[in-house]
Each structure stands twice: as structure tokens, then as C-alpha cells.
Amino acid sequence: MQLESLQMNKVFLNIRALVSMGTSLIVAAATSLALLCSPLICVSAQQKGKSTQTKYGSVKPGAPDLQARQRADALLAQMTLDEKIGQLNQLFFFSSFQKEESFNDGIRKGEIGSLLFVTDPAMINRFQKIAVTESRLRIPLIFGFDVIHGFHTIFPVPIGMAASWDPKMVEGAQTVAAKEARAVGINWTFAPMVDIARDPRWGRIVEGAGEDPYLGSVMSAAQVRGFQGGQIGSPEHLLACVKHFAGYGVAEGGRDYDAANISDAQLWNVYLPPFKAAVDAGVGSVMSAYMDLNDVPATGNRWLLRDVLRKDWKFGGFVVSDANAVSDLKTHGYARDAQDAAVKALTAGVNMEMSFEARVYLKNLANAVKQNQVSVKEIDDMVGPLLETKIKLGIFENPYVDEAKVTSTFANPAHREAAKLAAERSAVLLKNQNDLLPLRKTAYKKIAVIGPLADSRQNTLGSWSFAMDINETSTILAGLKTKLGAGTQVEFAPGVQINRNSPSPFEMLLKEKHAPAWTEVQAANEFEKAVDLAKNSDIAVMVLGENQDMSGEYASRSTLDLPGRQLELLQAVTATGKPVVLVLLNGRPLDITWAAQNIPSILEAWYPGSEGGNAVADLLFGDAVPGGKLPFTWIKNAGQIPLYYSHNLTQNPGEQEKRYWNERVVPLYPFGYGLSYTTFAFSNLKVNQPEIKIGNTADVSVDIKNTGNRAGDEVVQLYIHQQAGSTSRPVRELKGFERVALAPGETKTVRFKLGPKELRYWSAAAKDWVQEAENFDVWVGNDSSASLHSTFRVTQ
């Protein structure tokens, strides 16, 4: 332990030099000794792979900011410039084509602060052992992974979970995801993604909560709580990372990675609120986005990362770039070269660079310091929050993962139950003509299950599903067979194949590869087989939509039609005269106008996850009742983009539907829409204070009654409109909701509060947040077209 002895000798010599300078400095020096010793004292236990509590400086998970900061500062004082820069470096590791040994020396030298995409607990322990026993200061690594909607147990994709309008369920889902990921040694997830998306051509709409900032903010906070628990470092939880800051979902033309040009009013009122909600919920890290935001790349945007995030919002965590986003500052034409990119990103406020091979920070920041382009203090300011986070996570004291606990964690039956419940609560019933659903188990001797997605495990799970056991996936076909048993004949025909025109870069990570493409003869035969199966069956359940690689990152598209010959197949099966139920697996609204006119029952199941097939079977046969609501406006076709409910009135609102001469400008289904197997009625809307002063709160109440003969859930939604002000205000804005379970005939009173938080907005005229003395409309109902109406007034 010669290194430790040398370090402590230096500290004692410094104290001795201060003795003649007064007792206050002696006390300060003694405090420094305690803090400086803390990481060194931990070393012996870490080398043995044991947990320890030290006398000085030991910080429990979730420690107060000041305690963690003091210990981080003490550790920072011992680090060389190269070691500091190493902490800013995060690298991908793909075991399929990279060698573990090629990373060991960089860890040993302190050149790597984090690795991502390592999911083998034994490998994580091996990497971590090098960091905490062979690097000079024994600083542990933090391991990251895209835990987006589950880890081993896969939940519905985020747009699906947002459709539940059930933040408690969403929080629970991400709690399970965190527990499973933490079991293998992952400390950090790159989620939630909270980008508001109003252009469904953009592929990553599937990862967010849709078009509305209020719903998006609620889901953002719920996911942060689920991932992190009560505080950073909570047992069996992860560090959350809200992304992509900011405006990524506004890519021009819906083309992933293209520039975003957003007005100040739209940015503050629509696109930033979900990020602010995550910060308010205590999120520990933020990911900067790839793209240009109003001509300044988000990863080099000082206003965004310092003025908004840190100064206005008081964010105290750290910022990580998206993959290669620092080196891409040069590609953007924003930076002259790699060193300029490193300087611009760091001074903008990016603490950690995520990269494949570029390592722009590692290769250039030391030289930038020598050339006075960046100061050592600026480096320290970026390293400090990273060290604080590692301290709060408890990985100095507990650097290793218990490999023996992985199997039991994954096998917890409660996780599968939670996934099934989430899939049931996320489903949205779009149409149910003549109450075809729920189906009766004894009504059909032979059921045809038709469609390319009906028995596809990967497409049941959705994108960002990499670490699961794919054999544990319940497809729609498997779920129906399990539900109905031997008494009903359930037969399957895919009918058609669907594939992208260009492959997804994530294909190499998939557990289930695409089947070889059919020949023309095979395609014709398979199509005919599917139609014949429908003819010879009592009912057809058709499972259509998009392959999971058609919806997600690098998965934008120019149209919203059903890919391939799916519509043709649907029409041919319908022409047999047999009843048809359409189940959709997708992550965006699709052009299903023909289906909405001709198919009696349509169930939106999203990509429902590991228990998706069992959940859909329960929904189709009435053992679960759909209660989800659309988190976006379901447009008819891509030509209507953008079309969202919270538009401004304009000078001629009565003609809003007639803006196109060739078709009405109305959606297929409004935002917040979703049916049930029962019916509901709203009544007795009251605003208990018809007039309130600025800063006060109005209480709103409404009665909801289950008027049907089945138990079911309804989502009570409250919308407002400010009738005048310093700027034009949207025709409606969601400001409250509650999902309510009601027995047949039961009535409940639901209450909301409208205070300054709900009534203020960022005014383009005032260039600031304002709450104004004006008249307000209030509507309550079951979607954004709610008709039950009242008013109130805000006065000075």
C-alpha cells in the first residue's frame, strides 16, 4: 500500500505547514484529511470484493448532496488531469464483436469512467475488479444500458404504457425493470425518453408519451421514480437519465436526426415541460440530443445545458452526450476539428462523452488545457458530479454484483404478473361495432389467427428488447391457444411477410432474426392459405401492424400505411364474410381508415411485451376490460401531419375542418380516445370558485357513472382554454386526469385543482412565464372532444 502511504504523508506535511497559521485552518486541514482518506480507506475491502463502512467519508446510497460533494472534492484533489479526463469517457462494449481484454488496460489506467451495453454479471465484476483493485485511485466504473421498457421481463413499449394513463402502473413497471437490471450489475439506464412527438413519421415516437406536455410530464416523473426509487442509490434501483435534451422529437419531416427549429413559446410550453418534470422528480442524469436545435447542436448548446438546465432548473446531476454526439459537432459544421468539438461540448456543459471509438474528450482535452482553451477548474466542474453520483449510488462501498441472485430475481413470478397487467391496462379499444368483443369462449369451434405478427416473439416485445429470454415471450397466437385450450381449434397463417427496404442497424442485436424472404410463388401460396383458413373458420383474429424495427430509432418513414400487402390481406379475409377482429402491434398511428370503416372490432395492443399474448387473449375474451386512451391524435394519413388537438383557434375556427379542399381536416380518433366493454356518463361538473385571484387555486369536481353492466375503467380528463391574454392560447390543453375503476351502476366524484402551475404559460409577448387575469373554459370528459363545460375567471 505504498501509494496510500505517500498520499497520507503529503496530507500530514500540509497540515504541519498550516499549524502556525491558526486553529481554524488546522480544523479545516483535519477535515480535509478525513475526506481525503475516505477513498483510500475503502481500498482494502474493495480489493477483497466486500462491502465496507469506513470511519471517514463513507457515504450511504442516497446520501445528502453536501456529504457526497465533500467526498468527491477530496477525491478530485488527488486526481491527475488525465485521470479526471478518463472519468469523462464512456465507451460501448459489444461482446459479439469486441474483446474484453481490449478494455482492461484503459480501465487500469483510469481512462474509462463508464461502460455501456455490458449485461453479463460475471464480466461486469471482472471489469469492476480491475477498476477498484488495479487503477491508481480505485474509482469504480458505472455500467449503463438502455433499460427502456424492461430488462429480462419486457413491458409494453413506452407509448403503450403512456396509453394506460396510469402513472402508478408505469412507476411499478420501471421499478421491476430497475430491479432486474440492477441484479446483473447495471447501475444506470438511459431512460426515460420524454421527447414530445407530433409527427408520427418520426420512428422514436414509440419511446415517448406522445403529443401532450401534461401527459408527458406525468409519465416522465413516474418513470424517474420507478427507476431511481426514493433517492439516487435506493437499493435495487438505477440512476435514471432523461433524454434527449431537447427538441429531438421535432425533427424536420419526422426524419430521425434531422434538425429541429422550434419557437421559444413552443419550446417552453410544449417540449421542455417533461424534462423539467424529470428534474423536479430528482433525475440524476440528462442526455443531450444529437440534432441542431435552432441551428445550435444540442450537445454544444450552452444556453440549453447551462442556462436552462443548471441555472434556471437548478439541476445538480450530470449530462452525458448521446452516442458520438461530441465528435459529431464537427460533422454538423459547428466545430472546426475534434479538439474544438471537445472544447465546445465541455464548456457547453456535457460532463461525459458517450462514444464508440472517437474518444474525443480523452484524446483532446489535455491538449486543450495546455493551450488555455479549457481550464482545469472547468474540467473539475465536469468531473465532480460524476464522482458524486458514483458515491451516491454506493458503488465505492459495494462495487460488485452478487451473481448468485440473478436467476431468482429473473424468476420472480410477480414480474410476469406486472407485465401482463401493464399490457392489459395499455391496450386501447378503437372500435367495437355491435359489441363483437368480448368474444365468448364457447361460441367458436375454430379460430383463424392471421397476420405476420401473430406468432412473432421479437415483434411482440418491441424495440429496445435485447436482454430477455425470447423463449419466454407469449405471442398472440400462443396466448390464444393457452386461453382456449384443447376445446377450440386455433390455427395460424402469416399470410404475408413485411420487411424494411433498408435494414435496421440494430438487427445484429436481435434474438430472433427475420425469416428468409419468400419467393413470388411462396408469397402467393401463403396469401391463399391465409384466406382459405379464414373461409374454413368461425372467426378471424388478424394481427397486423409494423415489425418492431419499423418503429424506433433509425425507423422513420414517409407514409403511415400498413406495410407490405397487409391491407390487401385484411380486405381479402373480410371478403370471406367471416367476422374479423383486428389486433394492432405498432408504435405510431397507422393509416387504418379502411379498417375503421369495415372491421367491426379493432384493438390497439402496441408492442405489449413478454406477457403480451396472454394479455391480449384476456382482453379479447373479457377476462380483462380495455381502458387505455390514445396518447396522440390518430390521424387518417400522413398528409394531415401535423395534426394535434391543442392547436390555436386561428382567425376562422369554424372552417378549421375545411382547410384542405379534398378532405376534412379531422382525425380518425381524437387524443385521449378509447372505448370500453361498458359505458360511462359524466355529470355535475362544478368549479367551486367561479372567481379566483392570481396565485390562488380553483377546485373542480365532476361525477362519473358506470352506466353499463360490466365493471370497467374510465379516464376522467380535464381540459382548459384561456379565452384571451398576451398571446393566443391553444383551443384546449390537458391539465388533469385520473383513471377510475367503477362497478356497474357505481358513481364516483373526481376532483381536480387548477392553480398557478396549471394556469401559467410562457408568453412570447412577455418573453417570460405569466399567469394572467382572464376568463377560462373548463371541459371534462373521456377524450379531448369532451363536451361537459363550465367557466371561471382569474382576477388580479
Active site residues: 322
- From the number of C-beta atoms within 10 Å of its C-beta (0-12, 13-18, 19+), residue 796 rates as exposed
**Please, are residues 635 and 643 in contact by the beta-carbon 8 Å criterion?**
yes
C-alpha cell at 710: 360490466
Q: Which amino acid is at 332?
A: H
| Dihedral class, residue 383 (left if φ above 0, else alpha if ψ from -120 to 50, else beta) | alpha
CA distances from 112 to 325, 349, 371 (A): 18, 19, 24
**Nearest-angstrom CA–CA distance, 286 and 59:** 23
**Nearest-angstrom CA–CA distance, 592 and 603:** 12
Neighbour order of strands in the sheet with 733-742: 691-693, 788-795, 775-781, 712-722, 733-742
The β-bridge relationship of strands 691-693 and 788-795 is: parallel
Bridge partners of 718?
A: 736, 780
Phi, psi of 179 (to 5 degrees): -60, -45
- Terminal CA-to-CA distance of the chain, rounded, Å? 70
The β-bridge relationship of strands 580-585 and 285-288 is: unpaired
Phi, psi of 115 (to 5 degrees): -125, 150
Beta strands in 128-273 (DSSP E): 142-145, 188-189, 241-245
Task: Choose among 452, 465, 574: nearest CA to 515.
Answer: 452
**Please, are residues 631 and 159 in contact by the beta-carbon 8 Å criterion?**
yes
Task: Choose among 748, 759, 672: nearest CA to 712.
Answer: 748
**Please, are residues 563 and 550 in contact by the beta-carbon 8 Å criterion?**
yes
**Nearest-angstrom CA–CA distance, 533 and 544:** 16
The dihedral of CA 463, 468, 470, 476: what is its sign?
negative
**Nearest-angstrom CA–CA distance, 262 and 38:** 48
Q: What is the DSSP string of 91-149?
A: EE--TTTS-THHHHHHHHTT--SEEES---HHHHHHHHHHHHHTSTT-PPPEEEE--SS
The dihedral of CA 790, 213, 232, 400: what is its sign?
positive
Phi, psi of 208 (to 5 degrees): -110, -160
Q: What is the 3-state secondary structure (H, E, C) of 471-524?
A: HHCCCHHHHHHHHHHHHCEEEEECCCCCCCCCCCCCHHHCCCCCCCCCCHHHHH
Phi, psi of 40 (to 5 degrees): -75, -40
Task: Say whether 602 sits in a helix, a strand or coil.
Answer: strand
Q: What is the 3-state secondary structure (H, E, C) of 336-405?
A: CCHHHHHHHHHHHCCCEEEECCCCHHHHHHHHHHHCCCCCHHHHHHHHHHHHHHHHHHCCCCCCCCCHHH
